[in-house]
């Protein structure tokens, strides 16, 4: 099951309490205070895991708590630091503060980490409070409370190309034709009810990742059909392929409908490089409309390629256009967090080789 939204509550570990103790040894007549400090509470961190592709685990577990710090002990022994709580999420997860909707982080690289909640500081033992005039202090600090918060997780697929169009335009058939993916294909609307991914091999080049988005209809921004909820998965794409069914009476109206719905969701999507795939050229009525449709798009300055996802006609030409557009619009390289840079108040951490464990 593909789940791309989740809401979770996280609680960092509380700091351990400081200790009130005194050194009492047989041959030490003036022992003095010897209470140790409490340990620091564990943090709660998100870790981007490339082996995950859904937020389904968070449907069954929504509360995550890190270990608290140990209390201080006598002989100036400090409490043990609490173990961090690591939460694995798919690469491409966006983290939002639930009450305010503020974006906190975007985990777009494998191994990337983000501190959701910081553990509380341990309290100081009574050894810290001794002075020349106050030699036997009996006070110690309690540990600080760890941070807690509600956050919202949104998964946005990391794809190079997004396939958009009306239901039954042939998006799933096209994905099945150009990749090894096997999405559901049927002759009724809304066959695709969740996004699908496929990797398209290219000669002498790395494969490209293509996302098939469920069909849009007029009024999707008001909740019609499957609504707009899946369009978040094309927000990271570098290129959009508008799949248009040439066998219908008004293929140009199809294209206009999809573009309007994209603009209603995210206006910047209309500025994304696009290519129109005029599909179902294997049908006589579609082939009859091709010249008029191509002329209309030429007047608009839009690139269009005639194809048939059913027979494979025009597919090599479409892949050639896609490759050229992707090479002209490379994906920006994410900024790396310098190793050793202090990460205060929650934020991204550099990738570390450890998979977990507490801090000494």
Work out the average pLDDT over 139-163. Answer: 90
Work out the average pLDDT over 240-248. Answer: 89
Q: Is 271 annotated as a binding residue?
A: no
Model pLDDT, residue 140: 94
Chain centroid offset of residue 185 CA: 28
Model pLDDT, residue 266: 74
Per-residue pLDDT band for 172 (boundaries 50, 70, 90) equals confident
User: What residues does 149 pair with on adjacent strands?
Assistant: 10
Work out the average pLDDT over 274-299. Answer: 91
Q: Is 280 annotated as a binding residue?
A: yes
Enter the tokens of residue 29.
């007549």
Model pLDDT, residue 264: 77
Q: Is 213 annotated as a binding residue?
A: yes
Q: Is 21 annotated as a binding residue?
A: no
Work out the average pLDDT over 1-17. Answer: 88
Q: Is 212 annotated as a binding residue?
A: yes
Q: Is 110 annotated as a binding residue?
A: no
Enter the tokens of residue 74.
């006598």
Could you give the CA distance from residue 176 to residue 182 in angstroms, rounded to a whole number?
A: 5
Enter the tokens of residue 79.
């409490």
Model pLDDT, residue 225: 43
Residue whose pair of structure tokens reads 């050194």 in the numeric block = 23
Work out the average pLDDT over 340-346. Answer: 38
Beta strands 239-245 and 348-349, pairing class: unpaired
pLDDT, averaged across the chain:
81
Could you give the CA distance from residue 57 to residue 223 in angstroms, rounded to a whole number?
A: 27
Q: Is 168 annotated as a binding residue?
A: yes
Work out the average pLDDT over 96-109. Answer: 91
Edge-to-edge strands, sheet with 63-65: 63-65, 5-11, 148-155, 93-97, 103-107
Q: Is 281 annotated as a binding residue?
A: yes
Q: Residue 306 in contact with residue 251, Cβ under 8 Å? A: no
Model pLDDT, residue 333: 53
Could you give the CA distance from residue 258 to residue 153 in angstroms, rounded to a whole number?
A: 27
pLDDT at 137 over 80: yes
Q: Which 8-state DSSP code applies to residue 22?
A: B
Q: Is 167 annotated as a binding residue?
A: yes
The share of the chain scoring above pLDDT 90, in percent, equals 40
User: What residues does 44 pair with on adjacent strands?
Assistant: 85, 117
Could you give the CA distance from residue 261 to residue 224 in angstroms, rounded to a whole number?
A: 11
User: What residues does 5 pair with on adjacent strands?
Assistant: 154
Question: In the chain, what are the domains?
Answer: 1-156 (2.70.210.12), 161-328 (3.40.50.300)
Residue whose pair of structure tokens reads 């899946």 in the numeric block = 230
Q: Is 52 annotated as a binding residue?
A: no
Model pLDDT, residue 350: 44
Between the CA atoms of 117, 122, 123 and 126, what dihedral angle is there, to the nearest 10 degrees?
180
Model pLDDT, residue 1: 52
pLDDT at 124 over 90: yes
Model pLDDT, residue 348: 52
pLDDT at 356 over 70: no
Work out the average pLDDT over 158-186. Answer: 79
Q: Is 308 annotated as a binding residue?
A: yes
Edge-to-edge strands, sheet with 205-212: 196-202, 205-212, 161-164, 239-245, 274-279, 304-306
Could you give the CA distance from residue 70 to residue 123 in angstroms, rounded to a whole number?
A: 10
Per-residue pLDDT band for 63 (boundaries 50, 70, 90) equals very high
Q: Is 30 annotated as a binding residue?
A: no
Q: Residue 253 in contact with residue 219, Cβ under 8 Å? A: no
pLDDT at 342 over 50: no
Tell me the whole-structure pTM to 2 decimals. Answer: 0.68
Could you give the CA distance from residue 75 to residue 176 in angstroms, rounded to a whole number?
A: 69
Model pLDDT, residue 220: 43
Could you give the CA distance from residue 231 to residue 215 in angstroms, rounded to a whole number?
A: 10
Q: Residue 198 in contact with residue 179, Cβ under 8 Å? A: yes
Q: Is 279 annotated as a binding residue?
A: yes
pLDDT at 33 over 70: yes
Q: Is 165 annotated as a binding residue?
A: yes
DSSP 280-319: -TTSHHHHHHHHHHHHHHHHHT--EEE--TTT-TTHHHHH
């Amino acid at each position: 099951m593909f789940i791309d939204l989740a809401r979770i509550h996280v609680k960092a570990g509380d700091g351990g309490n400081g200790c009130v103790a005194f050194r009492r040894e047989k041959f030490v007549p003036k022992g003095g205070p010897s209470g140790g400090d409490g340990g620091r509470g564990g943090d709660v961190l998100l870790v981007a895991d490339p082996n995950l592709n859904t937020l389904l685990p968070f449907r069954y577990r929504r509360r995550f708590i890190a270990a608290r710090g140990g209390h201080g002990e006598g002989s100036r022994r400090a409490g043990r630091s609490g173990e961090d709580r690591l939460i694995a999420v798919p690469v491409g997860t966006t983290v939002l503060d639930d009450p305010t909707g503020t974006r906190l982080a975007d985990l777009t690289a494998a191994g990337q980490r983000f501190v959701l909640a910081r553990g509380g500081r341990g309290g100081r033992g009574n050894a810290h409070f001794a002075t020349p005039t106050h030699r036997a202090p009996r006070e110690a600090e309690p540990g600080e409370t760890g941070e807690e918060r509600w956050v919202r997780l949104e998964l946005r697929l990391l794809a190079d190309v997004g396939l958009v169009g009306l239901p039954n335009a042939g998006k799933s058939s096209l994905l099945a034709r150009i990749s090894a993916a096997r999405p559901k294909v049927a002759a009724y609307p809304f066959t695709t009810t969740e996004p699908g991914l496929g990797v398209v091999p290219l000669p002498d080049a790395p494969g490209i990742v293509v996302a098939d988005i469920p069909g849009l209809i007029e009024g999707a921004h008001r909740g019609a059909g499957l609504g707009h909820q899946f369009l978040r998965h094309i927000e990271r794409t570098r290129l959009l392929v508008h799949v248009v069914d040439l066998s219908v009476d008004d293929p140009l109206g199809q294209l206009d409908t999809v573009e309007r719905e994209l603009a209603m969701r995210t206006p910047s999507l209309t500025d994304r490089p696009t290519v129109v795939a005029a599909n179902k050229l294997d049908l006589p009525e579609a082939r009859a409309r091709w010249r008029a449709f191509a002329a209309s798009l030429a007047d608009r300055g839009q690139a269009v390629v005639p194809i048939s996802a059913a027979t494979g006609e025009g597919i090599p030409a479409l892949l050639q256009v896609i490759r050229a557009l992707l090479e002209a619009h490379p994906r920006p390289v994410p900024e790396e967090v310098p190793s050793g840079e202090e990460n205060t108040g929650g934020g991204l951490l550099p990738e570390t080789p450890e998979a977990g464990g507490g801090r000494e």
